[in-house]
Structure 1
Amino acid sequence: MNTTDGYDYVVVGGGSAGCVLAARLTEDPDVTVLLLEAGPDHAGIDSLDTPGTWASLLGGAYDWGYHFTANPLLDGREVPIPRGRVLGGSSSINAMLWYRGHASDYDAWETAGAKGWNYASLLPYFRRAEDWEGGATAERGAGGPIRITTPPNPHPVAAGLLEAAAELDMTVLDDCNGPDIEGAALANLNIDDGHRGSTARAYLDPVLARPNLTVRTGATVTELVFAGTRCTGVRYRSHGVVEVRAHAETLLCAGAIASPHLLLLAGIGDLEHLGEHGVTVRADLPGVGRNLQDHPLLMGVNFRSRRPLGPVRDNGGGAILNWRSDPALDLPDLHAFIVQGPHATPEVTKRYDVAGDVFAISPGLMRSRSVGRLSLRSADPEVAPDIDPRYLSDPRDLDALVSGLDYIFDLAGTAALRGLIDTPAAPDRRLDRAEAEAFVRASCSTFFHVGGTCAMGVGPDAVVDPELRVYGFDRLRVVDASVIPILPSCNTNAPVIALAERAAALIRGHERTPS
């Protein structure tokens, strides 16, 4: 094993959060940072750069290839959960949606115990990250690393969704990232002049020449190294095993799957669970891996088009819709987006024909009540953990998704969409309750929004404190979606980037959370 002299900060994971931290921390020329990424560099890979073909990346060479555990409530299916294994992480393979949800989503973090984390505290960091095409406002930022645009020439099915929503007396929003989120809107996209705006491209590429920044790809971290309760660095595989020291801190940015996995392998987690796998207990921190949350998505409601769909535009979508499954709810819980092509699970395509000119409106649940867990399958770091969001374990989630399925057929009945739709394709008609439940179970998949597995807060299940430090340890923080105590009702890329922006300020001493 080789041992290096070390760096001030070792950042584990070059994804959405890790690239932000590496860029922001090295703004101080007296600080040295090592960024470790298991996958390859993103540079020069056309498939990562082209927005319209992002879906072809899922399950491919730049995806970790994880699956959720088989779920009896989904007919025993194992749902794939893509996670980026390349510089930029999931921001290099995702759908490039920049959506922040509602202000109350972040106020809920503070209510859950993450003192000092609320919408008011995060808004400056959302704005710091943004280069919004509409320019700076009280809610939006300009001049930041992430270019954010709307479709300049929306696909007809995207425009059709907005018109259909208006026919059903829903609001057509000027900006889905404004204070009101209920209604339809053109999507905000991380697309800059036809190119993907990953964190690797937006944050890291412009600063690669900094002498205090070292980026190593093809470096898979397998172990955290400790001296008592102080984390002193990590061991990683790259042409052999290398140990590197972190003089100031080790920053886990490996994502909501790999970060808790590394903590569990280090003996930080539930006492009994670690014992079951022969892992020596370093700290009984039972919240590690618990509180796993995700947004379930139906892939999707498919319609045969009256005319050829033409070339894919933007990210293959272009418009979104938020509404309530129950009028008694205070805020929307359902979300849908357009797909400029078929969108269906293998189980659905076995039953229905989705070949040819078919497009989809895909609904999902952004306020899921089901909560799962990540746990060890083995003490071997090569063995992926068991990842179980327990989709539909709360029956209210099934009710909401059935309602969402029905509303898509209401949209399809509008004049705006009747002009585009020849016939329903999958399902091929409006379904009764029993049929709709069966369709939900067969088509339920994921928005790729896993979080919560190292939750920030107080109490017995909290893993990190409001400054993102792992309880009971020195010089070890987690900065990624795993620390989110309650998933916001939106795509998670924007919240993770804002979280990492604020984490960088906390680490540099530019801000403190209330004690």
Structure 2
Amino acid sequence: MAHRSEAGGAEDEADYVVVGAGSAGCVLAARLSESGRHKVVLLEAGSKDSSPWIHIPLGYGKLFNDPKVNWLYATEPQPELEGRVVKQPRGKVLGGSSSINGLVYIRGQHEDFDLWRQQGCTGWSFADVLPYFRRAEDQMRGADDFHGSGGPLAVSDRTEPHPLCDAFIEACAEGELPRNEDFNGARQEGAGYYQMTARRGRRCSTAVGYLKPARSRANLRVITEAHATKVLFEGRRAVGVEYRRGGETRRVTARREVILSGGAINSPQLLQLSGIGSADLLGRHGIPVVAERRDVGEAFQDHLQVRVVLRCTQPITLNDDMASLLGQARIGLRYLLQRKGPLTVCAGYAGAFFRTDERLATPDVQVHFLTFSTDRMGDSLHAFPGFTASTCQLRPESRGSVRITSADPLAAPAIDPNYLGTELDRRTNVEGIKRLRHYLSMPAMQPFIVKEEIPGAETRTDDEILAYVRQAGTTIYHPSCSCRMGGDPESVVDERLRVRGVEGLRVADGSIMPSVVSGNTNAAIIMIGEKAADMILAEAR
């Protein structure tokens, strides 16, 4: 007897089964169901995106430790970070991490995608992927050679400037880093304000932009609180997905394909649980091998973030705004009446991309500039007027892994980003802090700085800075590459995102990146969803 979905339809069969309603999964569900010709089932382990904090841009700070919308993953102890365990928040809700992220809209560098093409990923050069970025985008500035309008994903400017951000951008110019009005245009290098995935002061996740308009389609079923436990095979062909919901084990059959969009942690985990991975790893957990793919879960990358906290001379930071009930009331009222103020700010109010070595062709460090300060993201703000500038190495050499620790699908995998695993990564992080301090020392910033609070003026030498990086470095939430795409036979998926060694199974999410893009990853993952949908539909004709 077929189970019933939330919409009341039969839950046992579809043309396409998409696992994970995140940044790429919502795109796939919307695009694959668009024509009405194909029946699509979308499985999401989390619940509906009903929390008000999801839809308020600055509300992401309330979601770091919320198990209702967050997997609350953590890494293995990191040897190069003094054995620390680093939190790895991932969205467990409609919209996935696009519902809990910092909303910064950055695509990466043109050269990132050209490198993918050179690594054997035919059809993934910048010229190839630009149409998908443009198709996704509803750019508030209008369409041009690099941008689109009328797409599902709202991309907007800041609601208003801030004197600290203006000073930072001017200080970078004084330090010979040019202003840049569009980090997603002709070039990335420079300093400026970030754009964000929001519309009129509200977050535009893929659940809002893509899935919500598609929910009324009769050929699309969205099943929440459905934890996928296994891809089902007949021989080497994927024929469906087993999942748990409400204490029951259920199945949905895929007549055409199963597409995994669980992200860089959950997709390799589900492949391994389903018998696709290293035979040694699967054997240790008693999982029969369907296809030995040793690179499943390997080559994992993430961006490391290192924060510098400054004490401000003026009470103009969010720390000051939030210090009293009256200040909090003012912020709330401005948001409700005008859709302006601190609640509309993303996780990078302003920022910069720069090169730590002038011999480099493109920037290798990104700065996120924020008008508040805290010891850790998600913690209480500092009691003093403070602001933050963080560095992020854009192209780490370090590679890690994601590996199951049990045959139990509810057990979290072992996540090892291998932060600072190479000498280049250690050197770049040190040089990044030194270059950031150079910009912060420029005349335009001086009226606003009492002192550097963290790590402080006593941290000066390269060895001292590296020690601070080890003590304080943390994720900037860009896990990727754990089901890497490539032209080589060892890659997990081919250039059409088909899992090698089996049939009827693809992966389409941030895990397929051959190398992490130079910047925030959400825009590129949405592009991956758009391009994957095109490829799947082309093969369905």
Please report the TM-score for the alignment, with normalisation by the length of structure 2: 0.91
Q: Deviations over 1:99-135 (max 9, x none)?
A: 0121110011111121221111100000000111111
Matches of residues 146-161 of structure 1 in structure 2 within 5 Å? 146-161=153-168
Query: Unmatched 5+ residue regions in structure 1?
Result: none
The residue number in structure 1 matching 2:405 is: 377
Q: Does structure 1 conserve the Cα–Cα contact (< 8 Å) formed by 2:19 and 2:261?
A: yes
How many angstroms apart in 2 are the aligned matches of 1:133 and 1:414? Answer: 32
The residue number in structure 2 matching 1:72 is: 79
Q: Deviations over 1:231-252 (max 9, x none)?
A: 1101111121111111111110
The residue number in structure 2 matching 1:59 is: 65
The residue number in structure 1 matching 2:129 is: 122
The alignment partner of 2:391 has SS state of strand
Q: Deviations over 1:293-325 (max 9, x none)?
A: 111111x10001111115425225311101111
Q: Does structure 2 conserve the Cα–Cα contact (< 8 Å) formed by 1:53 and 1:316?
A: no
> Is residue 331 of structure 1 aligned with residue 362 of structure 2?
yes
What's the % identity of the aligned pairs? 39
The residue number in structure 2 matching 1:91 is: 98
How many angstroms apart in 2 are the aligned matches of 1:511 and 1:183? Answer: 43
Matches of residues 352-371 of structure 1 in structure 2 within 5 Å? 354-371=382-399
Q: Deviations over 1:131-172 (max 9, x none)?
A: 111111111111111111111312222222211111111110
From 213, 216, 225, the counterpart of 2:220: 213
Matches of residues 234-245 of structure 1 in structure 2 within 5 Å? 234-239=241-246, 240-245=248-253
From 412, 415, 428, the counterpart of 2:456: 428
What one-letter code is carried by the residue in structure 2 that aligns with 1:21?
Answer: L
What one-letter code is carried by the residue in structure 2 that aligns with 1:297?
Answer: Q
1:345 offset after TM fit, Å? 4.2
Matches of residues 179-258 of structure 1 in structure 2 within 5 Å? 179-239=186-246, 240-258=248-266
1:354 offset after TM fit, Å? 4.7
1:2 offset after TM fit, Å? 6.3
What one-letter code is carried by the residue in structure 1 that aligns with 2:58?
Answer: G
Farther off after superposition, 289-298 or 411-420: 411-420
Farther off after superposition, 374-383 or 84-93: 374-383
The residue number in structure 1 matching 2:269 is: 261
1:355 offset after TM fit, Å? 3.4
The alignment partner of 1:163 has SS state of helix
How many angstroms apart in 1 are the aligned matches of 2:144 and 2:365? Answer: 27
What one-letter code is carried by the residue in structure 2 that aligns with 1:490?
Answer: G
Q: Could you say what the CA RMSD is over the residues aligned between the two structures, in angstroms?
A: 1.8
How many angstroms apart in 2 are the aligned matches of 1:30 and 1:101? Answer: 34
The residue number in structure 1 matching 2:487 is: 458
Corresponding pairs, count: 506
How many angstroms apart in 2 are the aligned matches of 1:56 and 1:439? Answer: 27
> Is residue 16 of structure 1 aligned with residue 23 of structure 2?
yes
What one-letter code is carried by the residue in structure 2 that aligns with 1:119?
Answer: F
Query: Unmatched 5+ residue regions in structure 2?
Result: 4-10, 322-341
The residue number in structure 2 matching 1:405 is: 433
Q: Does structure 2 conserve the Cα–Cα contact (< 8 Å) formed by 1:2 and 1:243?
A: no
How many angstroms apart in 1 are the aligned matches of 2:274 and 2:225? Answer: 22
How many angstroms apart in 2 are the aligned matches of 1:391 and 1:511? Answer: 41
Farther off after superposition, 400-409 or 11-20: 400-409
> Is residue 473 of structure 1 aligned with residue 502 of structure 2?
yes
Q: Flag the 1:411–1:343 CA change in 2: closer, same or farther, 3 A.
A: farther
Q: Does structure 2 conserve the Cα–Cα contact (< 8 Å) formed by 1:302 and 1:426?
A: yes
The residue number in structure 2 matching 1:322 is: 353
What one-letter code is carried by the residue in structure 2 that aligns with 1:317?
Answer: G
The residue number in structure 1 matching 2:46 is: 39
How many angstroms apart in 2 are the aligned matches of 1:316 and 1:440? Answer: 20
1:15 offset after TM fit, Å? 0.3
Q: Does structure 2 conserve the Cα–Cα contact (< 8 Å) formed by 1:53 and 1:315?
A: no
The residue number in structure 1 matching 2:332 is: none
What one-letter code is carried by the residue in structure 2 that aligns with 1:275?
Answer: G
The alignment partner of 2:483 has SS state of coil
Please report the TM-score for the alignment, with normalisation by the length of structure 1: 0.95
The alignment partner of 1:509 has SS state of helix
1:446 offset after TM fit, Å? 1.0
The alignment partner of 2:146 has SS state of coil
Q: Does structure 1 conserve the Cα–Cα contact (< 8 Å) formed by 2:350 and 2:370?
A: no
Q: Does structure 1 conserve the Cα–Cα contact (< 8 Å) formed by 2:347 and 2:368?
A: no
How many angstroms apart in 2 are the aligned matches of 1:510 and 1:411? Answer: 51
What one-letter code is carried by the residue in structure 2 that aligns with 1:409?
Answer: R
From 292, 296, 304, the counterpart of 1:296: 304
The residue number in structure 1 matching 2:478 is: 449
Q: Does structure 2 conserve the Cα–Cα contact (< 8 Å) formed by 1:2 and 1:242?
A: no
